[in-house]
Amino acid sequence: MDRSPATILRWLFGSQSGLTDRQIPRWIFLRTLAAIYFSAFFSLLFQIKGLIGPQGILPAQQYLAAVAEHLGSQRFWYAPTLFWLSSGSHMLMAVTWIGLAASVVALFNLWPRLCFALCFVCFLSFVSAAGDFSGYQSDGMLLEAGFIALFFTPGGLLPGWGERSPVRRAALFLLLWEWFRIYFESGIVKLLSGDPEWRSLTAMDEYYQNGPLPTWIGWYVQHLPHWFHVATAAGTLVMELGIVWMLFLPRRLRLICFFIVTPWEIGVILTANYTFLNYLVLCLGFLLLDDRSIRWLVPTRWRSRLPREVSVQSSDNADQTEPVLSILSAPEGAAKEEKKPAAPRRGTADHLRALRLAVVAVLLTWIAYDTTAELLRMPFPDLPLPSGPVIALEPLRIANRYGLFAVMTRGRYEIEFQGSNDGQNWTPYPFRNKPQALNEAPRIYAPYQPRFDWNLWFASLGDWQQYQIVPMTEERLLEASPDVLALFRSNPFAQAPPRYVRAVLWQYWFTSMAEKKSTGNWWRREPIGLYAPVLTRTVAGKFGVVQWPEPLPQHN
């Protein structure tokens, strides 16, 4: 093999010199990525106006105006969003519908590269303008995977399996690198946090109850014996810090890794609602496979367009001699068939191809550097690495640091909004998704993401001064904002808004098996106190405080 710099660049970043035995996993990943984009935009259809619309909780117009005042002309880079053009309700819905339509077209494999580009731009537009409603790791995961997928997706209107666009090695590696970092960095933060629950392997004892949005399956799993929770806590650490390293080992070990982490992810999906996060990790895991391992799943009439299958004998020999990072290696046989590149020509088309290759190489190398630097700085924060490239990409959210469940929450708390016309009798506003009614089973609705309910779980662990979405919601309820009321299951004050609105804090627990059998309740709860100021609206239309809350006891 020619080892000149130009050849190496083409081998790593070029499509025509790419891998030909990853087309089925690529096809599966891209279809599932389109489905995840669909779930993200579909959930926004019913929420975006209530979250950041003109009559929403945190209007994007006010947020972007503050950004413009502080950053001036730099605002377009640090807040990259189409909502600079307009942040009215029609624009919010238009961007959401464009993203939703593009995800459906990508799902059917029609002009997928263009469709994924539209999905990325539309979702980034929301994330950049949504303030507190978009600071989730799952958003960064989707944007990172979505951006890299632009270099992973075959071109053309009807690319089929993508036989004319072999898989770029660098793009494949960066997607698997993201998969690896989600696990490994989550394991690192658990060790660095010093959380005694991870050190004593009691982290899973109340995990199913205390997570953001539990499921009914999680209720049953919570009641399994203590040894099960110890085993799953230990298994989590072993998988995040050890098993995922099998990515860098020969093919057979990668396949074993896939069959370990995939059932684990399915278990997480069934026992907790983490929106599309675990679905994304699950579909990234399919890139551990190759065509040979799943070719049998493809209907016979569609196999003819796939590359010729490598003989079993040569494949077995290859498994025994594969080098580290063999995920980037071409299968034996394929390398023999690779044609020697033709002598370079000096035409315009060749210059454009060279320029495109250079741009791809710079962007993917930039992401690789940033993500590696972020990982290394977790255990070694003073490591003298250049920070400029990392800072420059931060607004795009395409090179992120991850770390899930560094510290486990030690209780489940719920904020409830209540209205009253006399200040004595209070009626709650019913939520759509988060726990409230004691006899209502927690449901499974992921990958759908109820961002309002999700944010209130985080707010319940702090106080109202830290989470202004709570008093802002009180104000919108006093105004009877139809967009905010749509975030709730129903409006108990349909005739006219209440005179007073307050937010109270409860502590929730799963009921025991015996309690559920006798009462039918899935939950029990006790009041903690007033969470935020009790608000009213004066005749002049201004908001006034009726009662200030007392300091809450420690509850996180």
Q: Which range (10-19, 22-31, 480-489) has the least confidence?
A: 10-19
State the average pLDDT over residues 47-69. Answer: 97
pLDDT at 321 over 50: no
Lookup: tokens for 12: 């790593």
**pLDDT at residue 313, as a whole number:** 41
**pLDDT at residue 335, as a whole number:** 45
pLDDT at 443 over 90: yes
pLDDT at 345 over 60: no
- Cα separation, 29 vs 176, whole angstroms: 11
pLDDT at 237 over 90: yes
* Distance, first Cα to last Cα, the chain: 59
H or E element at residue 503: strand 500-510
**Residue 282: CB atoms within 10 Å:** 20
Query: Which tens digit of pLDDT belongs to each residue from 455-493?
Result: 999 999 999 999 999 999 999 999 999 999 999 999 999
pLDDT at 314 over 60: no
Residues, the chain:
556
**pLDDT at residue 330, as a whole number:** 54
pLDDT at 552 over 90: no
State the average pLDDT over residues 35-64. Answer: 97
pLDDT at 2 over 80: no
Binned at pLDDT 50, 70 and 90, residue 328 comes out as low
H or E element at residue 523: strand 523-530
Lookup: tokens for 341: 């590149």
Q: Residue with structure tokens 């799953």?
A: 232
pLDDT at 556 over 90: no
Q: Where are the alpha helices (DSSP H) in 272-415?
A: 277-285, 291-294, 300-303, 312-321, 334-337, 348-376, 388-393
- Cα separation, 524 vs 511, whole angstroms: 6
Query: Which tens digit of pLDDT belongs to each residue from 404-415?
Result: 999 999 999 999
- Cα separation, 389 vs 368, whole angstroms: 11
Q: Which range (125-134, 205-214, 315-324) has the least confidence?
A: 315-324
**pLDDT at residue 297, as a whole number:** 84
Binned at pLDDT 50, 70 and 90, residue 337 comes out as very low
State the average pLDDT over residues 391-397. Answer: 96
Q: Which range (213-227, 240-254, 341-355) has the least confidence?
A: 341-355
- Average per-residue pLDDT for the chain: 92
| 473 closest CA partner among 496, 437, 501, 438 | 501
- Cα separation, 206 vs 272, whole angstroms: 12
- Cα separation, 514 vs 520, whole angstroms: 10
Query: Which tens digit of pLDDT belongs to each residue from 182-232?
Result: 999 999 999 999 999 999 999 999 999 999 999 999 999 999 999 999 999
**pLDDT at residue 503, as a whole number:** 98
Binned at pLDDT 50, 70 and 90, residue 17 comes out as confident
pLDDT at 502 over 70: yes
- Helix orientation angle between 60-71 and 112-129, rounded to the nearest 10 degrees: 80
Residues 6+ apart with CB under 8 A from 51: 57, 58, 130, 133, 451, 452, 487
Strand partners, 427: 419
Check if the beta carbon of residue 29 is closer than 8 Å to that of residue 154. Answer: no
Q: Residue with structure tokens 């702090």?
A: 462
State the average pLDDT over residues 511-521. Answer: 97
Binned at pLDDT 50, 70 and 90, residue 121 comes out as very high
Residues 6+ apart with CB under 8 A from 552: 463, 505, 528, 529, 531
**pLDDT at residue 332, as a whole number:** 47
How do the domains of the chain map onto residue ranges? 23-156, 167-300+361-410, 413-547
pLDDT at 519 over 90: yes
**pLDDT at residue 346, as a whole number:** 65
Q: Which range (13-27, 85-99, 221-235) has the least confidence?
A: 13-27
**pLDDT at residue 334, as a whole number:** 46
